[in-house]
Each structure stands twice: as structure tokens, then as C-alpha cells.
Structure 1
């Protein structure tokens, strides 16, 4: 797509040399700047992290640990019964969710991913959601953008730096595999904005159906989003009398950090624990000033780190609830997607009641989401408009449109391959927006008049939220330390005004994180600093994976029936 086919603004305020930025590595109190792993922090000093703390600007300063964390992931087909009902799934290392990737702030991470999807003859990829991939674009793991699909029998190796800290997740970024079970957690240890006693790790919220997502895609394309059967908390739940609840043990008086992820295909959740308030300390991979609520609103692709304290004097068993918001999510099991928080060792059936709430699909209030490390946004002469619509293609299938464009890209011709080969004339259906200059501000305003909310995810950047809400944008903005994150909600019949800087060369996808909508073309890509992005491409790495896929495709004639991402 040529620049003038898309209404957005980019302003240059500073200039930068063409070079890979070197993140500052501070010397310690003894004047030593050699690699040194951090031993971490304690329950009473969570804001500290060796020679760093919660106020350190992690966008410019990263510990030099000298540590490389290496993982091996295997993707395979299997039969599983997460809620007691058996169905075909795809799993990583035999589990749903897959294993959690652990690293410390500043570590280097190497992950080898092997595709064993021989029966379904599926290519695959893994995207490291929220990891900025600063100058490592080819490791972003998005088919048709940064790589070809990894063929069955092949292994691809991803390498990236844990330059941020907090909670995230990884998932396949081809078709609907992420919602067949190809996902897992990422924990990058670092400082926190509030003390707590114990880190309980990842807590995944998934919607779930007894048919596969691929089987339901035809319904989504021809009729609309299907009503899903139920949901899972950390890969388990009860359905009728089958299955089992997720359980979490607590000791009275202790506080626990939960890293909550919405990994659903099409469900916006209210997450709560009966009788217990939640203190929110981070959104996505951005530490924030703590605030306390009875429940959190969490959209698809978002993460919130929360602290819960076992402070109830009488009842020993309390429901943990993931409640689909029927205002935008269809589920047959709305009232029974639950787990149990139990004090000490004995587990009983809770008799507790949920917090009162309004059934509506909203983000957490912008006024609560205050980043600890303060950053401001330059003012601009706002003019940009980007409309979201839905229509049918020439096969009478639903497709989503951003500014009259629905994405349709080819697995075998990823954007990075085209950049390396010198492509400059992009097909409109590729959704390319070119951002050629370094360190410009980009402002993107997305509007919708449709009564459907959409979680918008940007790769390669955290973006600032300057305005968000129901109805048309009224011209007001928050530019003094606004919320910044990688996934935010475009509310029903509402608007989302985003801003970020062109500080990371590469091809970066922006898309709705509703699985059906991504597959139906609700996406754009930003080709940022083309010439520098070209210089960063490891051609052998990209080409070897593509050659392997093309050989497999040539033998089995694999059909692509979605947007390509």
C-alpha cells in the first residue's frame, strides 16, 4: 500500500545515525562493568534489582548479565481433555499451556522450535508477544512478514534479548494454531513496583470449544463468530461433571503475584477472586504505579500482573473467576469458568459470591495505568482517520477492513524476503505502510462505528495511548506520561489514538487480536526504515527456512485459506 492510501501522520523531531543502538550497561558500585548475573530481590525489596531499580529506564538501560538461556520447544498433534472432554489439540512439549520461558532482565534467550505437525501438514511459527525485538526483527516469528512457515520436520532457532522485564506469552502466528494449544508463558524477572511474598507465575485465561478452532473457522467466515463451549484457567476446568478446577494454595497473610494473560480467541474477561482485592503492578511489559480493584478488565493479548493477599479471616475456599463479557463474547458456560483459591492444604467447594460488575467490554481506566518510568509524547496537528469495517469478499466470506484494505499475504513471500530482494512496490492487499525515516513520531487514530470492540496489538513497539473511549474522538489527548503498552482496546463504536516512534527498523505487524479477525484480514504492517531493515536481514537464516517450506509445500500442495498471518 502506498503512503497516500493510508491516513496517518508521522512527524520528525530528531535525527539519528544509521547504526544499531547500544543499550547502556551501568558500572556497579565497584566500577565494574563486566557481565554479572543478578541474584534478584527479596520480598521486602521488590523495587530493587541489584544495581538497578524500578525507576531505571529499561528502554535505554539493560543489565549486562552475560547469561544465555536456551530452550527447546516441540510442536505436535495429540488428543487431550482439558475440561474432561477429549478433542484433537496441538501442544508444545506435550502440554497446554506450553512450558514457561524464564529469563532475567538483560539475559540473551535462544529457543529452538521443531515442527512435528506431520498429520495435519501444518507449517508453524512462534511469535514472542510483546518482546520488542529491538533490531532483531527476523526473530519476531510472524509468517508472511518475518519468515516463511517452518515446515514439518524442520527446526527454526529464535534469538532475542530480554531487554524488558515482566510477564508475557508466546504463541504461534500462523492461522488459528495459537487457539489449538500452541502457546506458553514468558517470565522475565526484574524489579516490581510493589512488594509481595511469592511469585505464583503465569495464569492463562482461554476460551475453549469441543470442536477445533479450524473446524469453527468456516462458521466464523460465513455466519459470524461461533459461540464457544467453555473456558480454561491455566489449561483446565470442569465441564458438567467432567474435568477439574485449577487450584491455588495460599497461606493466610501471604501475598502472591499472579501474571494474568488473556490468551482467548474471542473473549473479553472480567477476572476476579471472590472476597479478595487485586493490586495491579504492571500492564503488558510496562511496570505501573500500583492501584487496587475488585476485578480487572482484560482483553485478548493483554497481560496484567496483580498481587492478591490471603487476608480473609473465615472462609478457606474462594472462587477464582474468569467471566466472559457477553456484551462482546459468546460462551455457553459463562458462569462456570472457575478455579479455587484455598487456604492451607484442604480444598473444599467454595460458597463465595462474585464481586458486582457491569457486563461491558472496556479496558482498565487510562487514569489508573500510570507507567513508573515517565515518558511524554510530542503534540501534533491531528488529522488522521482510519476506519474499521467488515464486508464479504468475492467468495462471500467475511473479511475485516482497515481503511478499505483487508490483508492477504503469501506464506512463501514474507516481507523481509521481499525487502532483501529489493521490493519497493507493494500490493495493496499486503497492507504495507512505509515509515522511511528514523525517530519520527507516528500517530494512528482508529475509529469504528460498529458495535464490536477490538484488541489492537502492535509488534516491535510499545505504543502510547493518547485517547481511548466510546464514540468519536473529541480532540483531547493525554500526552504527559500516558499509558503505554503493546495491546489496547478499540472500544465498541469508539476510537483508539496511538503514538510511537520509529526507533526499530523492520517489518512490524499491527492487528486485531481476535483470532477470527486476524485470519479474516484485520491487519496492517509497517515497513520501518527500509534501508536499515534490509541491512539487518540474515539472508541465510530467512532463505533456509523458506526453502524448507517451499519444498514441503511443493510436495504436499498446502492450501492457504486465510489472511496469511
Structure 2
């Protein structure tokens, strides 16, 4: 399932991060597809059990998924097998995957709608011609009718999807011990000095370095363990091998954010609010942040996946073990938010990367052809890796007070206002008798000629 834009990203993007869109309203998809089309019919045999592999490959919009009058049994999420769990409705964000078992009915008298419902809460506006609900079918009988799905709720937010926090991994991997590294991050959206809206993790909007981080790792020697060399605006965190890492992610934004971690399936140990009737309760209120001394009981065998939905103005807590040396992106999988900078980087066991990884020559050839430096720190400095002069920077913050140009503009505005008021007072209070008699005399003269 996916959202579909009828124009290319490079045609849409220039209208997104711009002074003309200070609220950061995401571009609205033109339509929604199922298996790259519409009105899909999946032939099935009565009484059989099928494994359905569900993937949201969209750029933006999450979708609810259900099959009328059928129950799903979840057996896998994001590549991690789970104990079977029955579900009626799933909420599948961009990049999330589910495998479900569905047992067919014994009767072939009718066909059943497969329903996808776009999460309209994510959309700032809903065009009148945008169809949010799509019907496809389990085809038991090609001669029977193919009925359209009937929505049982007035708003998609009233649907009650299965809470993926409730799943138990099949391998029963226990809760990771207390973390060696704990990072508390806050998502915010803010307008910068160019008038456009950007996304931040702890006031850093990811800005790509002049040298890709992996190439900095490979060329920095022992300095690869120093986070400084990766730049001030890549939000890079260096991890030692086998450390237990905890990420506390608070949402200061009113929208949901599906966060994806490369290189790992993390344990989901807390989220608030949970999926269900109260998931959007704090979208219009004050943000709720994680309290380490007052939280729900962590599960003994936490569900694991690589993409987890952050609630509006809520939080989640995840843990993973740094047992996979590499340079791993952690980012919102709504592509528009990634473009706004909602990302950071984990540099995991950089010295182990140097020992175990060999970059093929063709990679360097591609960099040369593209004019991208492949040695040095984030500023492409190969002489002093701690010198970040010339690094790419995020757009400057809006000034806290008046700038010099603003002060000059204010002074001239005030002077113009006082001059205008003075002119009004001067002419308004001057002798108007002579001016008033002119038109009266003229009217009298006109009457005389008329007579």
C-alpha cells in the first residue's frame, strides 16, 4: 500500500521548504494505491490459510488495514517473528511491515472487501477529489458481486488498531539491562531565518556533511571515535561496541512520526499514549514527556521492530544493543520530515568498522564523478580533523530581537506615521470656510443658468 504523487519529488520539493509554506504543511498525495493499482482482486480458496505480507511503501501517509468479517493473526513485524496475535485492524506507517495469517471462510457465496484507510489526521487539507478509503477484495467467487466497503466510523481516528507494543517476539529475547548510554531527544518544528519550516532533534536540524560519515570513519584513524569530526549539524553520536543504548524520544510536535533505525531492530519498551481511543488525546494539549521515575512497567520480552510510531505530543522509549558496527541513520520515515532535517546518526564502533570494512574502489570512483569528497572530516578537512571551518551548516535561527535593518525599518515607519498624523491634523483643523463656499457658490451659479 502506498500514497502516490503524480509529480516527481524534485518538482514538488521546491514548494515545500519555502517562505511561502511557513507552517510546514506537507504536500498532499494525489491518490492511494494497493499493489500499485486499484480494485485488486485476490483469488482465494475456501478453508485455506494464507500468509499476507503487508508493507507501506509510501512517502508520507500511514494507513489502516482490515478485511471485512475476517480476523488476522500477526506473526511477524519488520522482519522479527512474533507469537501469533489476533488483530482486526492494523495501523501501518510508512516503512512498517507486517506478516499476517488469514484463514478463509468455508463458504464461497460472497467476496469480502480488503480495506485501506488513509490516516487523514496527517493531512493539513483534504482535497475534495482525494479518495481516502480504498476497497480491494478477497475473491471467493468470481461470479459474485464485489461490494464496496462501508465505513463503520465517521473519522479514521475512531478506528482502534492493534497495539504493536503488545506483541511478544517468538525468540523471547528478554528486556535489555539498564542502558550504558541514554539519550533523551525532543522533536520540534520551527521556522528559521529564511522563513521556511524545519524539523529538529534537540534543536539540531540534520544537515548533510561535505564528506559522508562512513568515509570520515575510514579516513580519520583514531579520531574516528571523536564525534566532533562528523560535524556540528549531523547530530552524530559515537557508540562503543556492545553498549546498551536507550533512546527516549519526546514529541513536541502535534503530528505522528514513524521513526526508523538503520542496522537494528530495537526493543519497544514504552509509549504514551498507546494505540487506541486516546492516541490523539494530546494532539491539541500540552506535550507529555517521559518521566524515568514514573513510567509503566517495561515488558519482560519487548516487541522488536525497526520502525516505531511516535504519538502526537507523546513519547516512546526504545533500547538496542550496539552489536552491529556501522554508520546508522535514525530518522523520521515521512520523507518530507527527513527533508526538513528530522534525523541523526549513530557511529557504532568506528574502530571496528575500520578493521572489518573495505570500501570498493568503485565507490570512490562514483564520489569523484559526483564531485563529493571522500576523505576528511565533515568539512572535508584532511589536515586537522578537529577543524570544522567550512562545514555545511543549518539555516540560522530567527533573531531573538530586532536586527539593525529591523530597527531602521521601525524608525522610518514611526516617522512616516507621525508625519501622516501631522498632515491630517493640519488640514483637518485649518479654516475650511473659504473652501466650503466654493462649491456652494458654484451650485448657486448652476441654478441661475438653469432658470
> What whole-Å deviation, never above 9, does each CA across 1:315-370 have from its counterpart, x for those lacking one?
52222111012222465434442322211444743255356596339874245311
Distance 1:394 1:303 in 2: 38
Corresponding residue for 2:71?
277
Given candidates 5, 12, 15, the residue that maps to 1:216 is 12
Distance 1:382 1:366 in 2: 25
Given candidates 413, 419, 428, the residue that maps to 2:232 is 428
Given candidates 216, 228, 236, the residue that maps to 1:418 is 216
Given candidates 94, 111, 126, the residue that maps to 1:317 is 111
Given candidates 131, 156, 173, the residue that maps to 1:375 is 173
Change (3 A) 1:365 1:453: same
Does residue 207 (structure 1) correspond to residue 3 (structure 2)? The answer is: yes
Residue pairs, 1:311-390, within 5 angstroms: 311=105, 313=107, 315-329=109-123, 332=127, 333-346=130-143, 348-354=145-151, 359-360=156-157, 364-366=162-164, 368-376=166-174, 377-380=176-179, 384-390=183-189
Distance 2:71 2:56 in 1: 19
Given candidates 491, 500, 511, the residue that maps to 2:320 is 500
8 A contact 1:277–1:293 mirrored in 2:
yes
Distance 1:286 1:499 in 2: 15
Corresponding residue for 1:543?
364
Distance 1:266 1:531 in 2: 36
> What whole-Å deviation, never above 9, does each CA across 1:484-504 have from its counterpart, x for those lacking one?
111101111110101111111
Query: Could you say what the CA RMSD is over the residues aligned between the two structures, in angstroms?
Result: 2.8
Distance 1:385 1:363 in 2: 28
Corresponding residue for 1:439?
242
Distance 1:299 1:226 in 2: 17
SS in 2 for 1:455: strand
SS in 2 for 1:389: strand
Corresponding residue for 2:252?
449
> What whole-Å deviation, never above 9, does each CA across 1:28-54 have from its counterpart, x for those lacking one?
xxxxxxxxxxxxxxxxxxxxxxxxxxx
Shift of 1:550: 2.6
Distance 1:284 1:429 in 2: 30
Residue pairs, 1:499-518, within 5 angstroms: 499-518=319-338
Distance 2:368 2:327 in 1: 20
Change (3 A) 1:362 1:274: closer
Shift of 1:214: 2.9
> What whole-Å deviation, never above 9, does each CA across 1:215-273 have from its counterpart, x for those lacking one?
22233323211222210001012xxxxxxx22211111111111100111111111011
| Runs of at least 5 residues in structure 2 that lack an aligned partner in the other structure | 274-287, 373-391, 395-451
Does residue 486 (structure 1) correspond to residue 306 (structure 2)? The answer is: yes
> Which of structures 1 and 2 has the bigger CA Rg?
2
**Deviation larger for 282-291 or 206-215:** 206-215
Task: Pick the structure with more strand per residue.
Answer: 1
Distance 2:270 2:32 in 1: 32
Distance 1:363 1:285 in 2: 20
Distance 2:148 2:351 in 1: 62
Distance 2:165 2:315 in 1: 17
Residue pairs, 1:117-196, within 5 angstroms: none
SS in 1 for 2:317: strand
Corresponding residue for 2:344?
524
Q: Provide the TM-score with structure 1 as the length reference.
A: 0.56
Corresponding residue for 1:472?
289
8 A contact 1:254–1:309 mirrored in 2:
yes
Residue pairs, 1:240-279, within 5 angstroms: 245-279=39-73
Does residue 399 (structure 1) correspond to residue 198 (structure 2)? The answer is: yes
Q: Provide the TM-score with structure 2 as the length reference.
A: 0.70
> What whole-Å deviation, never above 9, does each CA across 1:495-520 have from its counterpart, x for those lacking one?
01011111111110000000101111
Task: Pick the structure with more helix per residue.
Answer: 2
